[in-house]
Amino acid sequence: MRKGKLVAFNGSGQPLTLLEHDIPSLGEGEILVRNRYTTLCGSDLHTYCGIRQEACPSVLGHEIVGEIVEIADSHPGTDDNGEALKPGDIITWSIFSSDPQSVFAQEGIPQKGTNLFKYGHAKITKNNAFHGGLAEYCVLRRNTGVLKIPESMPLPIAATLNCAIATVAASLRMAGDLTGKNVVIFGMGLLGIACIAMCREAGASWIGAADIADDRLLHAQHFGANQRINLRQHSEEGTDVLKKQFVKKGVDVVFDMSGSPDAMELGMDILAIGGIAVWVGAVFKNRKVGIDAEKIIRNLHTIKGIHNYNFDDFKYALDFLENSWQKYPFDTVVEQEFELKEAEQAFEYAISHKPLRVGIRI
Could you list the residues that contact Zn ion (CB under 5 A)?
41, 43, 163
By beta-carbon distance, which residue lies closest to Zn ion? Answer: 41
In whole angstroms, the minimum distance from the beta carbon of 176 to Zn ion comes to 24
In whole angstroms, the minimum distance from the beta carbon of 95 to Zn ion comes to 7
DSSP state of 161: I
> What letter represents residue 140's amino acid?
L
Residue whose CB is less far from Zn ion, 38 or 43 = 43
In whole angstroms, the minimum distance from the beta carbon of 44 to Zn ion comes to 7
In whole angstroms, the minimum distance from the beta carbon of 293 to Zn ion comes to 32
Query: How deeply is 113 buried, as exposed, middle or buried, from its count of CB atoms within 10 A (0-12, 13-18, 19+)?
Result: buried
In whole angstroms, the minimum distance from the beta carbon of 98 to Zn ion comes to 17
- Stated as kind and residue range, the H or E segment containing 44 is helix 42-49
Partners of 338 in the beta sheet?
A: 360
Residue whose CB is less far from Zn ion, 43 or 171 = 43
> What letter represents residue 147's amino acid?
L
In whole angstroms, the minimum distance from the beta carbon of 245 to Zn ion comes to 34
CB 217 within 8 A of CB 228: yes
In whole angstroms, the minimum distance from the beta carbon of 307 to Zn ion comes to 11
Residue whose CB is less far from Zn ion, 31 or 40 = 40
In whole angstroms, the minimum distance from the beta carbon of 128 to Zn ion comes to 21
In whole angstroms, the minimum distance from the beta carbon of 39 to Zn ion comes to 9
The angle subtended at Cα 184 by Cα 179 and Cα 189, nearest 5°, is 115
What is the C-alpha to C-alpha distance for residues 293 and 295, in angstroms, rounded to an integer?
Answer: 5
DSSP state of 16: P
CB 340 within 8 A of CB 136: yes
Residue whose CB is less far from Zn ion, 40 or 263 = 40
CA 263 to chain centre: 20
DSSP 3-state of 218: helix
Query: How deeply is 46 buried, as exposed, middle or buried, from its count of CB atoms within 10 A (0-12, 13-18, 19+)?
Result: middle
CB 70 within 8 A of CB 61: no
Q: b/e string for 134-164 if b means 16 or more Cβ within 10 A?
A: bbbbbbbbbbbbbbbbeeebebbbbbbbbbb
What is the C-alpha to C-alpha distance for residues 88 and 207, in angstroms, rounded to an integer?
Answer: 40
Residue whose CB is less far from Zn ion, 43 or 310 = 43
* Bond from prior residue into 57 cis (ω within 30 degrees of 0): yes
